[in-house]
Amino acid sequence: MSAMFLFATCIQRGYERRSRRHRWEASQPPQKLTTRRASPPSAAGGFPSKIHATSPLKFDRIAPLVHRPPHFRASVCMEDICLGRQPILDARRRTVAYELLFHSTPTEPATIGDGALAAAKLIVSAFCGLGVHQALGTSKGYLSVDAEMLLSNIVELLPRDFVVLQLPEAVGSGEEVLKRCAELRRKGYRFALDDVVNRDERLDRLLAVVDVVKVDIKTASEAGVRATVQAARDRPVLLLAEKVDSLEQAEACAALGFHLFQGYFFARPEILSGKRTHPAKMALLRLLSLVLAEASPEEIERALKPHVDLSYNLLRLVNSAASGLPRRIHSLRQGVIILGRRQLLRWVQLLLYTATSEDGALTNPLIQLAATRGKLMELLAVRERPGRRDFSDQAFMVGILSLLETLFGTPMAEIVEELKLAPEIAEALLQRTGTLGRLLQLQEWLEAGEAAKVVTACRQFTGFTLADLMQDQLEALKWAHDLGRQVDDEHAAGSQTRAGSRAP
């Protein structure tokens, strides 16, 4: 039994358990939302008498706090919320955190913006119905909180080890806000000041209680950015540049003293004429061509023989995928025969991103993005055309290959020509046309937080709804995280083995 099958089985069983629990919760009578300014609730009341911020969150602890209208249940039917996730990188372009973005969709605009209920929905959605660990993995999550949520008891249900509370401009900097932030900091919570475009009274007052200052470089003037950097220089805070659209912007911000960077600039292709592609990547591209062309196992093995490290890495990945087998695989030819081309094709595609990466697969944002795209497109393709494994395989490939232009610094048209891809795959990658192209476009809009476009695009498909998309997105995020951890563990084990073999 393959590791992938075991993983899928675990996901399905967990989903079934959650579904049974959600049906029970939905039948319970609604309760009122308890706020900080209300009298302290007793242990017999709606608010739990003892909750540790680091404890795993379960819906039964939060459900009594939230009055849920009929259209909103514990299972979080996400027809009115679209989840977005933006990576936050350090100066070495490693993922250190994510901002979770909750966009209201046109289906229920009134209820989403409704103060305390919106705050309660955010918590229920993120940490219960949607699953914080699926959305974040082991990274921290930045979550915006409004003044009402900040001042309520419900904010303390958020696990302090996993979240950074983000203060938008509307929260203000009054005494009540300052005292509440100081109180939560003593309990271990961390804060980021959002929507900063210049040095002002709000910034000066809140610098004492925040850990990160987020500067909107798209809106701020150069003078405003420099003034903010100067104000934060003497404080123990990190400067985060958000809405970074290009590598040039990221480098300019780093030169000014910024520590963190948010945006999909790392996925923007940088096409340079005369740029020489890394030999290992070219070897993998040739190997991918051979597998796609259904070359013999002997031909595949011969193509990789001159590249010892690649052969070694690929064999490690193949063995990790074949962990249910009674014996290890010692040659690529053996791997092709035992696992089959479909499995080998997937590992070769993923190895394109990991082969020359100096950082771990968990912290490399391009690897995580490519893996998430591939898996999400595959899951949606299964819904759209049930029983068509060839179609879901093509969807996975389109998702993975869609970032090769960035990885190689080569126009996508040249990559498509090199690989001699099927017309429907080529059209999807080059023009975003056909069913595969529309699935890729949907994925890109989801990444960019284009909620209205996501909702409209979902209606063009007959096999899934927005709620299905949200569910599959989180399964894809978790799959990419588990894959990254698996690759990193295999790499660490391989490094130890090779170090031991070189020891005297």
Q: What is the mean pLDDT of residues 157-167?
A: 87
Instruction: Evaluate if residue 212 carries a pLDDT over 80.
Output: yes
Instruction: Evaluate if residue 398 carries a pLDDT over 60.
Output: yes
Name which of 242, 236, 211 is nearest 99 in CA terms: 242
pLDDT value at residue 361: 63
Q: Look at 452 and 228; give whichever has higher pLDDT.
A: 228
Q: What is the mean pLDDT of residues 176-200?
A: 93
Q: pLDDT of 216-233, one tens digit each?
A: 999 999 999 999 999 998
Domain boundaries, the chain: 77-267, 279-502
pLDDT value at residue 230: 92
Task: Name the token pair of 103.
Answer: 């966009």
Pick the most confident of 304-308, 452-456, 493-497. Answer: 452-456
Considering the chain, what percentage of its residues have pLDDT values greater than 70?
66
Mean pLDDT of the chain: 74
pLDDT value at residue 47: 27
pLDDT value at residue 348: 81
Q: Are 213 and 239 in contact (CB under 8 A)?
A: yes
Q: Look at 33 and 141; give whichever has higher pLDDT.
A: 141
pLDDT value at residue 161: 86
pLDDT value at residue 400: 93
Task: Name the token pair of 385.
Answer: 């055309």
Q: What is the mean pLDDT of residues 100-106?
A: 64
Q: Are 165 and 98 in contact (CB under 8 A)?
A: no
Q: Is 61 helix (H, G, I), strand (E, B) or coil?
A: helix
Please give the CATH number for the structural domain made up of 279-502. 1.10.3210
pLDDT value at residue 385: 96
Q: pLDDT of 299-319, one tens digit each?
A: 888 887 777 777 776 677 666
Do the first three CATH levels of 77-267 and 279-502 match, i.e. the same topology? no
Q: Residue 136 and residue 132: Cα distance in Å, rounded? A: 6
Those residues with Cβ within 8 angstroms of residue 167's Cβ, 6 or more apart along the chain or in another chain: 144, 145, 150, 177, 181, 191, 192, 193, 194, 206, 210
CATH superfamily ID and name for 77-267: EAL domain (3.20.20.450)
Q: pLDDT of 410-426, one tens digit each?
A: 889 988 988 889 999 99
Q: How many CB atoms lie within 10 A of CB 242?
A: 23
Q: Residue 126 and residue 139: Cα distance in Å, rounded? A: 14
pLDDT value at residue 194: 93
